[in-house]
Amino acid sequence: MEEKRETVTAPEEELTSASARIMRGLGLDKKTEPEIEVEPVGFFENYWYHHKWKTIIIGVALLIVMICTVQMCAKETPDVYLMYAGPGFLTANEAREVQNSFRQIMEDYNEDGEKGVLLTSINYLTQEQIDEKLAIAEKEGVDLIIDYGGNNDAYERFSLEVLAGESVICILDPSFYAQLKASNGLMELQEVLDEVPPEAVDACGVRFRDTEFSRFFTATHVFPEDSILCIRRVSVMSAFKGQAKTERAHAYHTELFRAVMEFSMPE
């Protein structure tokens, strides 16, 4: 007689994690497994984690805007505008020294607490001056390259300054002086001064180096000896800037021009 055997099915093994099985293998109960504690993250830590680079970029941009704004607000408005145009090249330091020379004898015309002078310097060579430089370089065995493109740009800049610029008192190469005089763009000296000085080259200008002002303030010797000092008439573009404002500014320049011409060497 065949013996009946009872089949006993083992309970399904509980699914456990690998770490739990290891813990049981080591004889450790689940209850002894240490709990992981997570500290709560604050708002600013969470914000910085997700938006760090955007915050840095925006901060740098704001800093640049603030610096530019402060510089623009601190920038003085010039009382007078000067222009040099000719073959002489002025460094930034030389231009500052020239501006300071004029500042010594002028008033705070616009009454903003600063004696502001702005010198526009245009380095331009006529064809005759270019040929002369090339001849000297060839004689000395030096390779000289003329930047004709830059030279043409300088002439265009001069034309634009004459048409719409702020410059009134001018120190010019004779070639530029002749152009402005021919176009009736210059005031005659007798319109500004009580009498025409003997060193005047003609009715509208005087060789700058011959003035006592230039002899005393030697920083102005950066200009070529044949440079001519003159003063422009009120610009035809003044109507677009405000006639009254332009005429008031022109009066400042006329006063400074007179002070330069009447300057005497200190005893």
Q: At 29, is the pLDDT very low, low, confident or very high (cuts 50, 70, 90)? A: low
Q: At 267, is the pLDDT very low, low, confident or very high (cuts 50, 70, 90)? A: confident
CB atoms closer than 10 angstroms to residue 215: 13
The pLDDT, as a whole number, for residue 73 is: 44
> Which is more confidently placed, 203 or 65?
203
30 close to 20: Cβ distance less than 8 angstroms: yes
Domain boundaries, the chain: 44-75, 77-261
Alpha carbon distances (Å) from 258 to 41, 105, 263, 265: 74, 11, 8, 15
What pLDDT, in 10s, does the model give residues 233-249?
A: 987 666 566 777 888 88
Please, is 209 exposed, middle or buried when counting C-beta atoms within 10 Å of its C-beta (0-12, 13-18, 19+)? middle
Rounded to two decimals, the pTM is 0.71
What pLDDT, in 10s, does the model give residues 176-187?
A: 999 999 999 999
- CATH for 77-261 (3.30.70, 3.40.190, 1.10.20, 1.10.3470): 3.40.190
Alpha carbon distances (Å) from 236 to 175, 232, 247, 251, 254: 22, 11, 11, 16, 17
Shortest CA distance to 212 belongs to which of 266, 136, 138?
266
